[in-house]
Structure 1
Amino acid sequence: MGVLEERFFKIQTEVSPAYQSDLLMFIYRKYIVPFYRNFANVRRWILDGRETLAFTLLDPNGLWYVDVEVTAGNPVEVRMKPSDPNVPDRVLNKIKEDLIITIQMFEDEIRRRTLYFAWVPSKHFAKEKTFTQKRKILSQIFTGNMLLLFVIFIFFSYAVFILAGPEYAPIILVISQFILVLFSDKIIMRMGDWSITEESPYVYILQYHIPPEDFEYIRRNYPRERLLQIKREIYERTLALGRTIDVQTVQDVFSQHGITIRPENLLVKSVNVYQIIKEV
Structure 2
Amino acid sequence: MELVSYSIDTEIPASYAEKLLDFIHYKFILPQQQRFREITRKKSETGSYLSYSVLDAGGNHLLQVEVTASTPVEVRIKPLVEQISDTFVEEAKQDVVIALQLFEEKVRKTTLYFAWREGEKILPEATNRGEKSLQRVFLETQVMLFILFTVLAIFLFASISAYYPDKIWITPLVLIASQLVFVIFSPRFIARTADWHITKENPTITILKYILPLKEGAEIGKTYTKEQLLQIKKEIYEEILASRGEIDCESAHKVFGKYGIECQPENLTLKKVNVYALVKKTADIFGYSVPKIVISNTMLPNAAASGSSPNNGLVLITTGLLVQLEEEEIQSVLGHEFGHLKGRDPLLLYALTSGEFFFRFYVLLPFFPFMLNPFLFIFYFWLVMTLIFFIAKFFEARSDLVSAIEIGKPQILASALEKIGFQRLLYERTPSFRLQEWVGLDPHPPIYFRVSRLEKLRAPVKIKYPLLQSIKDVLSGFFATI
3-state SS, counterpart of residue 215 of structure 1? coil
Q: Tell me the CA shift for residue 191 of structure 1.
A: 2.0
1:250 alignment partner, one of 248, 251, 254:
248
Q: Tell me the CA shift for residue 209 of structure 1.
A: 1.7
Matched residue type, 2:171 = A
3-state SS, counterpart of residue 263 of structure 2? coil
* C-alpha distance in 2 between matches for 1:63 and 1:130: 47
- The one of the two structures with greater contact order (alpha-carbon pairs below 8 A, sep at least 6) is 1
Output the aligned Cα RMSD. Answer: 3.4
Matched residue type, 1:126 = K
Is 1:83 aligned to 2:80, yes or no?
yes
Q: Tell me the CA shift for residue 152 of structure 1.
A: 4.7
Q: TM-score, normalised by structure 1?
A: 0.76
1:232 alignment partner, one of 234, 242, 254:
242
1:156 alignment partner, one of 152, 157, 162:
152
* C-alpha distance in 2 between matches for 1:31 and 1:220: 27
- Structure 1 residue runs of 5 or longer lacking an equivalent are 239-248
CA deviation map 1:115-139 (0-9, x unaligned): 1001112xx34254998xxx96431
Which residue is equivalent to 1:244?
A: none
Which residue is equivalent to 1:16?
A: 13
Matches within 5 A, 1:89-128: 89-121=86-118, 124-128=119-123
CA deviation map 1:204-247 (0-9, x unaligned): 11111223546249717826642322332451xx5xxxxxxxxx
Is 1:142 aligned to 2:144, yes or no?
no
* C-alpha distance in 2 between matches for 1:250 and 1:263: 8
Q: 1:176 to 1:17 in 2, by over 3 A?
A: farther
Which residue is equivalent to 1:40?
A: 38
- Shifted more, 112-121 versus 52-61: the winner is 52-61
Q: 1:23 to 1:92 in 2, by over 3 A?
A: same
Which residue is equivalent to 1:176?
A: 178
* C-alpha distance in 1 between matches for 2:57 and 2:144: 48
* C-alpha distance in 2 between matches for 1:139 and 1:32: 39
- Shifted more, 98-107 versus 54-63: the winner is 54-63
3-state SS, counterpart of residue 267 of structure 1? strand
* C-alpha distance in 1 between matches for 2:171 and 2:124: 37
Aligned residues: 259
CA deviation map 1:43-96 (0-9, x unaligned): 232434x44322233456576532212123443221111123312222211111
CA contact (8 A) 1:67 1:81 kept: yes
CA deviation map 1:176-195 (0-9, x unaligned): 22222223222222222322
Q: 1:160 to 1:183 in 2, by over 3 A?
A: same
Q: Tell me the CA shift for residue 168 of structure 1.
A: 2.1
3-state SS, counterpart of residue 42 of structure 1? strand
Q: 1:62 to 1:106 in 2, by over 3 A?
A: closer
CA contact (8 A) 2:256 2:263 kept: no
Q: 1:221 to 1:178 in 2, by over 3 A?
A: closer
Higher strand residue share: 1
Matched residue type, 1:82 = P
Q: TM-score, normalised by structure 2?
A: 0.47
Matches within 5 A, 1:203-242: 203-213=205-215, 215-216=224-225, 219=228, 222=231, 225-229=234-238, 230-235=240-245, 238=246
3-state SS, counterpart of residue 86 of structure 1? coil
Q: 1:28 to 1:136 in 2, by over 3 A?
A: closer
Q: 1:200 to 1:113 in 2, by over 3 A?
A: same
CA deviation map 1:138-162 (0-9, x unaligned): 3134238999976653432233333
Q: 1:209 to 1:143 in 2, by over 3 A?
A: farther
Is 1:269 aligned to 2:271, yes or no?
yes
CA contact (8 A) 1:114 1:207 kept: yes
Q: Tell me the CA shift for residue 30 of structure 1.
A: 2.1
* C-alpha distance in 2 between matches for 1:72 and 1:129: 32
Q: 1:258 to 1:106 in 2, by over 3 A?
A: closer
- Structure 2 residue runs of 5 or longer lacking an equivalent are 216-222, 283-333, 335-482
* C-alpha distance in 2 between matches for 1:208 and 1:141: 31
Q: Tell me the CA shift for residue 14 of structure 1.
A: 2.0
Matches within 5 A, 1:192-203: 192-203=194-205
CA contact (8 A) 1:39 1:57 kept: yes
